[in-house]
Structure 1
């Protein structure tokens, strides 16, 4: 690898080199295990409809078979709760955490762009990234829905496939923090995901604290996109409302998806 220009910040140079080392040293078996982890995370963050709840024994077996790792420990803790709940209770908890709590929405571009026109461009860019690899989502969810982003990462690999996750790391940190504040067991699923990403910088943590306090950018209808929070200022707290969207649904049978993940 040629030397990186000195104009690149030190933390960025360190992350680039770490990413190159991961790609160059990952064996096929390690790549398969990482893809399996990402697929499990995608499944476990989908709405717990009957297909998914019926697949709980298979999901538990898949997590039990994982090699020891911080991610496996987090998922084991989650499955202990997930496997023992009544389906109706799981559905209610999911809706409460991800559809009603404003700081734990699973739509990632919202945390970066808020309800601005830039968010539409970010969604389009994500959809184009998916199509460029030959993967078309079925249209049942927005391309920034976290289970969709995780499925793409599993399919496309740790380089370009995981780039959207790295881009939205601060949003993921906020979701994890919000779930922890409410005591939701889903915090373990986000915790498992964060173990697969570069650790947060001090700037990341400061931005997450500011985002939690003030919310993402916003703009009023009819205003120029570069005014009224368009330069990246945070909107007042009362504007921090997640975009309306129906609960996610498993696009195919959960049992089939679990079998494919293996």
Structure 2
């Protein structure tokens, strides 16, 4: 397996595991486990641990935990442009640029999906690994802050973020500074409308 094929497989599995845990995810658990087993240990071991948790947890319990973790904790936000731009005009432009990039790669989103949701970003990365890794690196600070927040919350999804982090180069000086700034100050706070993208997400709706 080439490096790009390995990354593509990892990002596709991670995309599914960081999405809302609906019935189809449980149905795919065995196949996802097989796919993860073929990856290097730094990528596969955290995914296997999360899959162990998934298969041992009733769907309703895991779904409620997902909503409590990602919909009710700002530090565990799955919408990556929020970390860089907050609820500002710049975020609206970033969302539009992402959607245009996805369309060029043949990835069409539904009306319920925002293009900066981590599951969507990973799906795009799996389709176009060269562009995908650049996109993930552009949001490296937010990803790291999310990973640390999930570990602080002892969330099972921290394992998925550990696997995502293992697909990327280690944090360097400027990225560490960006993580520290985000942790201390949070994202920008200018409040504006983000038409045509609505931020609230219906509980239990597809992610």
Is TM (by shorter chain) over 0.5? yes
By how many angstroms is 1:221 displaced? 5.0
1:145 aligns with 2:117: yes
Q: Given the superposition, is the C-alpha separation of residues 118 and 40 from structure 1 closer, same or farther in structure 2, using an over 3 Å criterion?
A: same
1:89 maps onto 2:46 in alignment = no
Is 1:173 the counterpart of 2:130? The answer is: no
Which of 166, 171, 185 is the aligned partner of 1:214? Answer: 185
Where do 1:13-162 residues align within 5 Å? Answer: 29-64=2-37, 66-157=38-129, 159-162=130-133
Question: How many angstroms does 1:137 deviate by?
Answer: 1.8
**Offset of 1:245 from its aligned partner?**
2.0
Which of 198, 201, 204 lines up with 1:245 in the alignment?
201
Structure showing the higher helix proportion among its residues = 2
Over the aligned positions, Cα root-mean-square deviation in angstroms equals 1.8
Contact 2:82–2:91 under 8 Å retained in 1:
yes
* 4+ residue segments displaced more than 3 Å: none
Q: Deviations over 1:44-74 (max 9, x none)?
A: 011011121232222223223x143301111
CA shift for structure 1 position 207: 2.2
1:123-163 CA-to-partner distances (Å, cap 9, x unmatched) read 01101111222322223210101110100000012x21322
Give TM-score scaled by structure 2 length. 0.90
TM-score for the superposition, normalised by structure 1: 0.72
- In 2: Cα distance, 1:111 partner to 1:36 partner: 26
Structure 1 counterpart of 2:176, from 182, 202, 205: 205
* 1:57–1:83 contact (8 Å) kept in structure 2: no
Instruction: Provide the rounded CA distance (Å) in 2 between the counterparts of 1:169 and 1:186.
Output: 17
Query: Higher Cα Rg: structure 1 or 2?
Result: 1
What is the aligned partner in structure 2 of residue 235 from structure 1? none
- For 1:164 and 1:67, the matched residues in 2 are separated by 22
